[in-house]
Structure 1
Amino acid sequence: MKKIAILKAHSVIRDMIVTTLQQELINSEIYTYGPDDLKVNDNIGSKADMVIIDLDINLDIHHLIECYKTEGKKVVVWTPTTTNPALPCLFKLGLHGYFYNGMEKEELVHAIESIFNDKVYVDKELAPVLLDEYISTVSQEPKRPCDMFTNREWEVIELLVKGYSNEKIGKHLFISDKTVKNYVNSILKKLQLPDRTNVVLHAIKNNWFYI
């Protein structure tokens, strides 16, 4: 039984999140805590396997994150806006997930399941902000692992990093859209990542490409 704690002030959105998770994650227990609960005891999520922290909870987010990371929990932050100034710093902490208010029900469930399967999930709406931060800090000398991808797969990853669509990649490499999709699926499988956005972030984070 997976236990999930949601640290967010009571609202219609929180109620909707809880209802969705209770319906879709039947083998999970969902707990909710508002800021007043946490002021009394900031370790209130200690019985949870995953803690989802709303960045608007009006408490010391970094302190909460540090507590839960020390306890070995999967830590996720949830932001209602893509312009939150804390996002770049939070991304550097290497948390398990970065959620956004615009997530659809299916995305939310998929994200939580992915994290419980030891993957990192970054909402696609947050990718530009987080990618910019990595671009500004990575080395200019690419460091790519040997024997992980074919030459063609490396070419596809490079074009993904540049923001090319499948159609544009196909035209650039003179291959069909179907072939591009096959390469992208192969890359996702090798990296065990959920989508192309996370492939780009993974490539930049690991200094495979410099923009």
Structure 2
Amino acid sequence: MIKVMIADDQELIRESLKIVLSTHEDIDVVDTASDGFEVLKCLEKYVVDVILMDIRMPGLDGVMATKEVKAKYPNTKIIILTTFDDDDFVFSALRYGASGYLLKGVSMDELYKAIVTVNTGGAMINPDIATKVFSMFSKMQQNNYTIKVDEKDVETLSKPEWKVIQHVGYGLSNKEIAQKLFLSEGTVRNYLSSILSKLNLRDRTQLAIWAVESGLMTRTFDDE
């Protein structure tokens, strides 16, 4: 059972999402919140696997709430859900540890799949803004937002692992990576686990940021 919290300042949206998501047998909406402060209070009472977090909320907004939640409850996954396609918000929320970013126009089926994906350690970026996110990651070095990885650890990566990292940088899911590289999803998961362990990175979001920062996205490994 995936325990979900919904944080949005509009009651209609909170209740609508709760009703729809509760129709799935593997999802339990444990609580709702109208701002970031309520999110933190709720987390004192409930163990939550995934939070659907609105960006623009009064008091403590979704970006700063994400930062606070990930600092205190690192195992809780966060999907940013908003109508605002805003560069700074996308950049900051992902930087603070959000695992996904979806526009509110997403279908309920896509939202459900995103929750399941994020709960199992994956990342989910709405296709409509994936290019924008990639562009922002590319500019991170100019803003001093970098992911530090020891060069000695980098040298331990195998060619197949480099290929997996590159596809993670492009925002592909495990299933998509498996199809691209003619591997099983289980093999891709094993590669990812090995890569994160070798590089001492927290999750695939950090891995994606590092892949872009390191210039990996322009390399062609088949020719090496």
TM-score (norm 2): 0.62
Q: In 2, distance between residues paired with 1:89 and 1:187?
A: 33
Q: In 1, distance between residues paired with 2:24 and 2:57?
A: 25
Q: Is 1:71 matched with 2:73?
A: yes
Q: Which of these residues, 118, 122, 125, is aligned with residue 125 of structure 2?
A: 122
**Residue of structure 2 equivalent to 1:104:** 107
Q: In 2, distance between residues paired with 1:115 and 1:94?
A: 12
| SS across alignment from 2:160 | coil
**Deviation per residue, 1:171-207 (Å, 9 max, x gap):** xxxxxxxxx99435638665449xxxxx9x9556323
| Structure 1 unpaired stretches of 5+ | 162-179, 194-198
Deviation at 1:80, TM superposition (A): 1.0
**Deviation per residue, 1:102-141 (Å, 9 max, x gap):** 21122111111111112222222221221111111359xx
Q: Does the 8 Å contact 1:9/1:33 carry over to 2?
A: yes
Q: Is 1:183 matched with 2:185?
A: no
Letter in 1 for 2:67: E
Deviation at 1:20, TM superposition (A): 1.9
Q: Does the 8 Å contact 1:4/1:28 carry over to 2?
A: yes
Task: State how many pairs are aligned.
Answer: 180
| SS across alignment from 1:23 | coil
Q: Kindly tell me: are residues 87 and 189 of structure 1, through their superposed partners in 2, closer, same or farther at Cα, counting changes over 3 Å?
A: same
Q: Does the 8 Å contact 1:88/1:133 carry over to 2?
A: yes
**Deviation per residue, 1:79-110 (Å, 9 max, x gap):** 21223532112222232222221211221111
**Residue of structure 2 equivalent to 1:176:** none
Q: Is 1:113 matched with 2:116?
A: yes
Q: Kindly tell me: are residues 9 and 137 of structure 1, through their superposed partners in 2, closer, same or farther at Cα, counting changes over 3 Å?
A: closer
Q: Flag the structure with larger Rg.
A: 1
Deviation at 1:210, TM superposition (A): 4.7
Q: In 1, distance between residues paired with 2:124 and 2:7?
A: 18
**Residue of structure 2 equivalent to 1:209:** 216
Letter in 2 for 1:209: L
Q: Is 1:83 matched with 2:86?
A: yes
**Residue of structure 2 equivalent to 1:58:** 58
Q: Kindly tell me: are residues 181 and 120 of structure 1, through their superposed partners in 2, closer, same or farther at Cα, counting changes over 3 Å?
A: closer
Letter in 2 for 1:28: D
Q: Kindly tell me: are residues 104 and 145 of structure 1, through their superposed partners in 2, closer, same or farther at Cα, counting changes over 3 Å?
A: farther
Q: Kindly tell me: are residues 137 and 21 of structure 1, through their superposed partners in 2, closer, same or farther at Cα, counting changes over 3 Å?
A: same
TM-score (norm 1): 0.65
Q: Kindly tell me: are residues 90 and 202 of structure 1, through their superposed partners in 2, closer, same or farther at Cα, counting changes over 3 Å?
A: same
Q: Does the 8 Å contact 2:7/2:39 carry over to 1?
A: no
Q: What RMSD, in angstroms, separates the aligned Cα atoms of the two structures? A: 3.8
**Residue of structure 1 equivalent to 2:158:** 147
| Structure 2 unpaired stretches of 5+ | 147-153, 171-176, 193-203, 219-224
